[in-house]
A and B are shown apart, each in its own frame.
Chain A
Amino acid sequence: MKRYVIAGNGAAAAGCIEGIRSVDAAGEIVVISEEKHPVYGRPLISYYLEGKTDLPHMNYRGADFYEKNGCRVLYGRRAVSIDPETHAVTLDDETQLAYDALCVATGSSPFVPPFEGLETVANKFSFMTLDDAMALKQAAGQTSRVLIVGAGLIGLKCAEGLAGSVGEITVCDLADRVLSSVLDAECAALMQRRLEANGIRFLLGDSAARFEGNAAVMRGGSRVEFDLLVLCVGVRANTALVKNAGGEVGRGIAVDEKMRTSLADVYAAGDCTESVDISCGTRKIMALMPNAYLQGHAAGVNMAGGNAVFDNAIPMNSVGFFGLHAMTAGSYDGEAYEEKDDGHIRRLYVKDGLLKGFMLIGGFERAGIYTALIREKTPLAELDFELLKTGATTAAFPAAERKIKFGGAVS
């Protein structure tokens, strides 16, 4: 009987468990879970702050998930090293776990730059884990002044989650716009207006030069007084396990389309990995929950001796603030087709006859049709692209193709 070890207990681990069990019903599965919670939807922590969900509903799988899948979960434990020769993982309590196949699904950790005076701040938080969110919720009061450093997805979802239940929220970022890694200037401006209309104040192109107790002295010279500081500057992939064992690591753990690392019988999945973005052909970290699950599942199948590939990863995001949604996918490369009116922007990016990316704000109907065109590299010449420019619809496909797609006809 095989023994599978999974380092981590997020969506990638859940995918890995379900992948293993789709092939091997009997093997032993051991899950090393640093967090003392069963797998939960990590992006839900902002919805938890907001009160839109609660702890029982945040569980990613049913209450019997581990039991049903025959998993032993080591809560509160962390893997500290891998010995690829002997196929063993050492935990932080120095116990050793032998494995036949290992999946490293260690996710990422908040990156905190060395701010001067940060140690003088009493109430500072990260916003990555359920425990972070619970601590923040506990500390936040009706009159709290909150300073969030970082106007990316994590910082802004935190701001949205707190809005309405605290006194004031200021978000600063060195970038000159919100969501700078996802949106262009025009779309970002639209989103920023929506956030500002809901009471969130921005200091962009500016960040804290130093902290003095309950105040930040900004690079621009202003001074921001706060009760709670939330640091959402960025994240770093947790690659140390594989790196220290001599495996290939870039910014993330390098994996191939079967989720294999360069170490024998060691797989990796989720936010700790980097892989090829097929919309542009470059390796990058695509830290998205869908990718984490899909990678984990593929890893699990392969660990159990099956054959699965995940070879069409692209970056993609669906993110909304106060009812305004943005959806993005792929690369913003090539010729751009744009349609916009008040409060709504649709941009499609086309190169070499293929859809490479899109950015939608304020209108998202059937966006997955565009996403599939990118992932499946569907030649646009076979479609009614003029129709697609006005909206995502399967009417743009030839009738014969639609018959295969919808009709249950065998292709």
Chain B
Amino acid sequence: MKRVYVNEEWCLGCRLCEYNCAFANSGKSDMALALKGKRIYPRIHVEGNERITFAVSCRHCDDPICLKSCIAGAISKTDGVVRIDRDKCVGCLTCVLVCPYGALTPGEDGVMQKCELCLQNSCGAPACVTGCPNRAIVYEERGGDA
């Protein structure tokens, strides 16, 4: 199963991935129209300290604790991808309380969202990867439990 991985030694901390993610999931065709002057709600987040930066998104765990903890049964895993049914989510944030990666965040409407690998938006492949200027984020098969 292909996954999004970050090579933190290459990450510039530019946060383009956050913008590309927010745009990819906005449903809009123009990036400026979608994001300019607005607070963005990306599903990937650049973290770090003064020495290192790296982007974090859902690991699509083999044994996803978010799925097992969701009080609404809104999280499921199909074809290796952990997804949220945003119509079922009530925004209780239990998934935030249990995800060891900090990979889930509420969207603008308070409903939870997470990386679903851009497989169901118009990109068809992770926009964070496509737009990363330094190939610090890759989408590849590595095997093993992420």
Chain A residues with a Cβ under 8 A of chain B: 11, 14-15, 41-44, 47, 52-53, 57-61, 289-290, 293-294, 297, 316-320, 325, 327, 329, 364-369, 371-372, 384, 387, 392-395, 399, 402, 405-410
Q: With A384-B49, A394-B56 in contact, is A369–B92 under 8 Å at CB?
A: no
Closest to B100 in A: A372
Asked if A60 contacts B96 (CB within 8 A), the reply is: no
Query: Interface majority SS on A: helix, strand, loop or mixed?
Result: helix
A65 to chain B, nearest CB (A): 9
The answer for the CA separation of A366 and B99 in the assembled complex, in Å, is 7
Contact of A60 among B72, B94, B98, B143 (CB under 8 A): B72
Report which of B72, B97, B144 forms a contact with A409, defined as CB distance below 8 A.
B144
Most buried by B among A53, A60, A368: A368
Residues of A near B143 (CB, < 8 A) are 408
Contact between chains at A325 and B102 (CB < 8 Å)? no
From A14, A58, A394, give the contact of B102 (CB < 8 A).
A394
CA distance A393 to B45 in the complex (A): 11
Are B73 and A408 in touch, CB under 8 angstroms? no
Nearest CB of chain A from residue B84's CB, rounded to whole Å: 13
Q: With a CB–CB cut-off of 8 A, which chain B residues contact A365?
A: 96, 102, 105
Tell whether, in the assembled complex, residue B100 and residue A371 are in contact, meaning their CB atoms are under 8 Å apart: yes
A368 engages B96 (CB within 8 Å): yes
Which residues of A sit under 8 angstroms from B88, Cβ to Cβ? 53, 57
B101-127 to A contact mask, C-beta < 8 Å, 1/0: 110010000000000000000000000
Whether A44 pairs with B71 at a CB distance below 8 angstroms is yes
A408:B94 contact, CB within 8 angstroms: no
Q: Which of A297, A372, A387, A410 contacts B68 (CB 8 A)?
A: A297
Given contacts A11-B71, A393-B47, A406-B59, 15 further A-B pairs with CB under 8 A are: A14-B73, A41-B72, A42-B71, A43-B71, A59-B73, A60-B72, A316-B97, A318-B93, A318-B94, A320-B92, A366-B99, A368-B98, A368-B101, A369-B100, A407-B5
Bound-complex Cα distance A317 to B92 (A): 10
Least CB separation from B85: chain A residue: A57
Please, which residue of chain B has its CB at the minimum distance from the CB of A393? B47
The 6 closest A-B pairs by CB, nearest first: A366-B102, A290-B69, A372-B100, A408-B142, A60-B73, A368-B99
A365 to B102, CA, bound (A): 7
Is B23's beta carbon under 8 Å from chain A?
no
Bits for B52-92, please: 1 = Cβ < 8 Å to A, else 0: 10101001000001001101110000000000000110111
**Contact present for B98 and A61 (CB under 8 Å):** no
**Cα-based distance from A406 to B54 in the complex (angstroms):** 10
A61 near B73: Cβ-Cβ < 8 Å: yes
Question: Are B47 and A395 in contact, CB atoms less than 8 angstroms apart?
Answer: yes
Whole-angstrom distance from the CB of B78 to the nearest CB of chain A?
11
A318 touches B73 (CB 8 A): no
CB-based contact B97/A367 at 8 Å: yes
For B69, the chain A residues whose CB sits under 8 A away are: 289-290, 293-294
- Is B3 among interface residues, defined by CB-CB distance under 8 A? yes
Question: Does B34 interact with chain A (Cβ within 8 Å)?
Answer: no
CA distance A42 to B48 in the complex (A): 38
Task: Give complex CA distance A409, B146 in Å.
Answer: 8
Chain A residue at minimum C-beta to C-beta distance from B68: A293
Q: How far is the CA of A371 from the CA of B56 in the complex (A)?
A: 18
Question: With a CB–CB cut-off of 8 A, which chain A residues contact B59?
Answer: 406
Q: Judging by beta carbons under 8 Å apart, are B90 and A44 in contact?
A: yes
B132 interface hit (Cβ, 8 Å) = no
Check if B72 sits within 8 Å of A394, measured CB to CB.
no
A53 partner residues in chain B, CB cutoff 8 A: 72, 88, 90
CB distance from B115 to the nearest CB of A (A): 13
Rounded to whole angstroms, the CA-CA distance of A406 and B83 in the bound complex is: 19
**In the docked arrangement, what's the CA distance between A317 and B96, Å?**
11
Name the distance in Å between B92's Cβ and chain A's nearest Cβ.
6
Min CB distance B28 to A, Å, is 26
What is the bound-complex CA distance between A204 and B71, given in angstroms? 29
User: Nearest Cβ in chain A — how far from B37, in angstroms?
Assistant: 23
- Chain A to chain B contacts (Cβ below 8 Å), 16 pairs: A14-B73, A58-B72, A289-B94, A290-B65, A316-B98, A318-B96, A318-B97, A320-B91, A327-B93, A364-B97, A365-B102, A366-B99, A368-B96, A394-B56, A405-B101, A410-B144
- A367 to B101 alpha-carbon distance, docked (Å): 9
Residues of A within 8 A of B94 (CB): 289-290, 318
A52 to B109 alpha-carbon distance, docked (Å): 12
- Report the minimum CB–CB distance from B4 to chain A (whole Å): 10
Contact partners of B52 in chain A: CB under 8 A: 395, 399
Of chain A, the residue at the smallest CB distance from B66 is: A368
